Structure 1
Amino acid sequence: MTTKSTDAPSSSVLRYTAFATDPAGGNPAGIVLDAAGLDEAAMLGIAAEVGYSESAFLTPANPANPAPGSDDAGHAFDVRYFSPRAEVSFCGHATVAAAVALAERVHGAGDFVFFTQAGTVPVTVTDVDGTLRATLTSVEPHTEDVTAADLTEALAALDWPADDLDPALPPRIAYAGARHLILAAATRERLADLSYDFERLATLMRRLDLTTVQLVWRETDLTFHARDPFPVGGVVEDPATGAAAAAFGAYARELSLVPAESDLTLHQGADMGRPGILTVSLREGDPRVRVSGTAVRIGG
């Protein structure tokens, strides 16, 4: 009888930051490129020890499921994502970081496919003047209304007066692999002033099965600033949130806030001292959302 390991050598856990070219920016993620020997408890333990908002654990996928465009299964992976407290169905920044790590260390630029709990996520890594850039394609997204009572509770937990919301961007719950409550601030100053009741917001989020609350402010027609409280993951704030960016793209398109064919720029992390840039691409006729960004290894 064989059992899976409950630990992993520290050298096997890579650390990359996504949506930045500077290791001091973007959103850090732990990455294990071959987690075949790890059970769920081990993965959760590693994620907690690493301490980032999420870590990604990759296992080579079944040869019956090769990546589109590849000639073998070497570019297809089963992927699980863990915060320091729990498993999450999908994580955008860890996907971008893991794909860049695969391209940089194993396969080179090209096409990959990640089989996640949320569904199949194609990822393409390109080399742009020596910088690796990953583009993930989300599962099919959707949005739903938020009840008045739940909105009231969210605003109370955030200590946001209702008048501080932007009426042009109505509250919604949006999904593109994970669920996010989207609330739009009327001013940049409102977005910058974030001090919330950690446990109260976490309780609401668990009840609504939310991964983050995405707080946004619209700077121009296609440029937005975002912050993402993440108390259910055991961290106060996520520095750059790819899954929320994908959900936001679906939200913006469904509410006709942007053209059906457009590229949005999301700035996130500046208020935390970890600036990052996420590109959200919408393509007419394709309900899925594409999220792109760079990633770089932390620590050389």
Structure 2
Amino acid sequence: MPPSVLRYAAFAATPGGGNPAGIVLHAGALSAPEMQRIAADVGYSETAFVTERNISGNARHLSIRFFSPDAEVPFCGHATIATAVALAVREGSGAFEFETPVGPIVIKTRVVDGGITASFTSVEPRMAALESAAEDALFSLLGLAPSDRDARYPLLSAYAGNWHPILVLRDRATFDGFAFDPGGIRTLMDAQGWRGTVSVLHAITPTVFEARNLFPVGTVTEDPATGSAAASLGGYLRATGSVAVPTQVDVRQGAHVGRPSLLRVEIPVTGGIVVSGTATEIA
């Protein structure tokens, strides 16, 4: 009997918004090739698989893996939020601990205005410079020039579960209007080991960002909401001194693909970044 697959949209800002994720709550008997096949059949950017329950006798301590339609992904923020909400609906709100390929993730759920909001704390962020050839290739594939970058924000690769290059553009029109070749972006991402998204942003204010997250996989080209990119952005803003911490940052994403999303990012003085959002079941 095939496993039951739930479908939830995480981080929705409006009805019909958010990033869809598949969820298999009972995946302990599945092999990696079987999980990969299910993720490909679901077709969302990621599907989460709960592979172990009741770790050390704790019903809220679980092991989880994430698969895109093409490959296993070390961490997926929107599928983490969606899975936590699905569990809270069935088992009650409160804290869960997920064992992920990048390490343990604590995620808290609570009832807000009749719905459930979930918040995960990322692993410790870190930054890396891009090689000059990768910078040149990225600008070329986006049809942009280095002068299009907002000079207040350096071009860096940021990690909070996945590596995401973070490019902040100066002009809103440039941000809205750039186009890209998905195949070329995918080739560059694979060559650079960017397992997350290419995160292109525009700063509305120092604490409000519009985001387009490029993620060519299967039929997807742009991700509507990317929790790991939001966490990476929080680590990036703290590391570059772009915000005074502690603070909260809002990331608006998904409008360019017709699925408006909102991600709340709490940046503490030290430690992991907290990303919060809602998730609702897709009928």
Question: TM-score if structure 2 supplies the norm length?
Answer: 0.96
Query: Deviation per CA, 1:125-156, whole angstroms, max 9, x where unpaired?
Result: 01012110000000111011112221010111
CA contact (8 A) 1:16 1:295 kept: yes
1:188 paired residue number? 172
> Following the alignment from structure 1 to structure 2, what is the Cα–Cα distance between the partners of residues 59 and 49?
19
2:277 paired residue number? 293
2:65 paired residue number? 80
- Which of 258, 271, 275 is matched with 2:243 structurally? 258
2:18 paired residue number? 26
> Following the alignment from structure 2 to structure 1, what is the Cα–Cα distance between the partners of residues 129 and 205?
25
Which sits farther off after the overlay, 109-118 or 203-212?
Answer: 203-212
Q: How does 1:150-229 map to 2 (within 5 A)?
A: 150-210=134-194, 211-229=196-214
Query: Deviation per CA, 1:197-253, whole angstroms, max 9, x where unpaired?
Result: 222211111111102100010001210010111125662111100000000000000
2:259 paired residue number? 274
Q: How does 1:107-146 map to 2 (within 5 A)?
A: 107-146=91-130
Q: Shift in Å at residue 189 of structure 1?
A: 1.5
CA contact (8 A) 1:22 1:296 kept: no
Unaligned runs of at least 5 residues, structure 2: none
Q: Shift in Å at residue 194 of structure 1?
A: 3.7
> Following the alignment from structure 1 to structure 2, what is the Cα–Cα distance between the partners of residues 290 and 274?
22
| Code of the aligned partner of 1:26 | G
CA contact (8 A) 1:206 1:232 kept: no
> Following the alignment from structure 2 to structure 1, what is the Cα–Cα distance between the partners of residues 38 and 2?
8
Query: Deviation per CA, 1:139-181, whole angstroms, max 9, x where unpaired?
Result: 1110111122210101111111222111111100000000001
> Following the alignment from structure 2 to structure 1, what is the Cα–Cα distance between the partners of residues 219 and 126?
26
- Which of 9, 20, 45 is matched with 1:53 structurally? 45
CA contact (8 A) 2:12 2:260 kept: yes
| Code of the aligned partner of 1:175 | Y
CA contact (8 A) 2:128 2:158 kept: yes
> Following the alignment from structure 1 to structure 2, what is the Cα–Cα distance between the partners of residues 218 and 22?
21
| Code of the aligned partner of 2:123 | V
Distance 1:231 1:163, change over 3 A: same
Q: Shift in Å at residue 100 of structure 1?
A: 0.3
> Following the alignment from structure 2 to structure 1, what is the Cα–Cα distance between the partners of residues 103 and 254?
27
Question: TM-score if structure 1 supplies the norm length?
Answer: 0.91
> Following the alignment from structure 2 to structure 1, what is the Cα–Cα distance between the partners of residues 8 and 166?
27
> Following the alignment from structure 2 to structure 1, what is the Cα–Cα distance between the partners of residues 60 and 52?
8
| Code of the aligned partner of 1:29 | A
| 3-state SS of 1:256 partner | coil
> Following the alignment from structure 1 to structure 2, what is the Cα–Cα distance between the partners of residues 237 and 205?
14
CA contact (8 A) 2:13 2:262 kept: no
> Following the alignment from structure 1 to structure 2, what is the Cα–Cα distance between the partners of residues 254 and 14?
37
| 3-state SS of 1:288 partner | coil
Q: Does 1:99 align with 2:93?
A: no
Which sits farther off after the overlay, 26-35 or 147-156?
Answer: 147-156
Identity of matched residues, %: 44
Unaligned runs of at least 5 residues, structure 1: 1-6, 65-71
